[in-house]
Amino acid sequence: MEQKSLVIGIGELLWDVFADQKKMGGAPANFAYHVSQCGIESFVISAVGKDALGDELIRILDQAGLNYDIQKNQYPTGTVQVVLSGKGIPQYEICEPVAWDFIQTKPEWETVTKNASAVCFGSLAQRGKVSQETIRRVVSLVPETAFKVFDINLRQHFYSAQLIKDSLKLCNVFKVNDEELEMIADIFHLSGVQDEICRALINDYNLKLLVLTCGTNGSYLYTTTQSSFKETPLVEVADTVGAGDSFTAAIVAGLLRNNSLDETHAMAVRLSAFVCTKKGAMPEYVKLQHYVD
């Protein structure tokens, strides 16, 4: 089935700037890269500036063999200052306004979206009205049978209760981490233990799947009738940048291959653990089949 699948990642495209280097980043591009490494065609939609940083990002997309529609506009290419803790956990300072805040809708996307099997979007790129409207338009255009993945990304002050609620209404797969789940429970006044909050979100927003990652404390997949828990493997962490995006990509790959919940979850755990052992969000895959089969 994956040979006929097309997966769209739409949103921010930027540079993660570390103390000693910079790496291409942005959740949708990271996601699309890992989807492509899982053997499924992906398509990135974003925007960069008319500058050297933007040109360099496009060259990297070309080298990675990704399909894309990257607009160029008068705003600077996005950058994020990343500071890693002693355990490799990133803290972000996200610049604004930047090019990906102004992604414009294009009529030719009608063909791309109608052939999509999945689309992944987040909250960060919806901080600006232009990109927010474009993202919601793209999600609304994919087939009803497609997986519409809301991989929430609560950063700094770039979200609101209404933005989260509207995005949950658009999606049928929700990806969240444990810290974000606590924030959402507080915002929406949801009470109970973790399982109860997840079940409430599934019921309130008619979700097919809720994906919960808890760092070193494991991860959970919830459907209306099933659940799966897997421990996080112990690996030597280089950094965790992009690990969540690779987890989401593996989940989508498993869904498109009609794998069982357990098989899908196991693949996601293996792949994200591998990404944690490498620097940056888009490491070169080694012994690919070990991680994606």
Between 168 and 93, residue with greater pLDDT: 168
Beta carbons of 137 and 103 less than 8 angstroms apart:
no
Give dist(CA 119, CA 49) in Å, integer. 24
Q: Picking from 54-58, 80-84, 113-117, 237-241, which range would have the lowest pLDDT averaged per residue? A: 237-241
Give dist(CA 252, CA 32) in Å, integer. 11
CATH of 2-281, one of 3.40.50.720, 3.30.530.20, 3.30.450.30, 3.40.1190.20: 3.40.1190.20
> What's at 184, amino acid-wise?
I
- CA 151, distance to chain mean position in Å, is 5
Give dist(CA 136, CA 11) in Å, integer. 11
Q: How many C-beta atoms lie closer than 10 Å to residue 111's C-beta?
A: 8
Give dist(CA 13, CA 143) in Å, integer. 25
Q: CB under 8 Å to 143, separation ≥6 — which residues? A: 114, 116
Beta carbons of 161 and 197 less than 8 angstroms apart:
no
Which two three-digit tokens encode residue 37? 């490494």
pLDDT tier at 2, thresholds 50, 70, 90: very low
Q: Which tens digit of pLDDT belongs to each residue from 81-92?
A: 888 777 767 788
Beta carbons of 28 and 46 less than 8 angstroms apart:
yes
Q: How many C-beta atoms lie closer than 10 Å to residue 191's C-beta?
A: 8
Q: Which tens digit of pLDDT belongs to each residue from 147-169?
A: 999 999 898 899 999 999 999 99
Q: pTM value?
A: 0.92
Complete edge-to-edge strand list for the sheet that includes strand 41-49:
67-73, 41-49, 6-10, 118-121, 147-151, 173-177, 209-213, 219-222, 227-230
Residue 156: exposed, middle, or buried by beta-carbon count in 10 A (0-12, 13-18, 19+)? exposed
Q: What pLDDT does residue 275 have?
A: 87
Mean predicted lDDT score pLDDT of the chain? 91
In degrees and rounded to multiples of 5, residue 143 shows phi and psi of -60, 150
Residue 55: exposed, middle, or buried by beta-carbon count in 10 A (0-12, 13-18, 19+)? middle
Beta carbons of 13 and 102 less than 8 angstroms apart:
no
User: Tokens 């506009």 map to which residue?
Assistant: 73
Domain ranges of the chain: 2-281
Give dist(CA 8, CA 67) in Å, integer. 10
Which two three-digit tokens encode residue 70? 């990257």
Q: Which tens digit of pLDDT belongs to each residue from 254-267?
A: 999 999 999 999 99
Whether the pLDDT of residue 1 is over 70: the answer is: no
DSSP 105: P
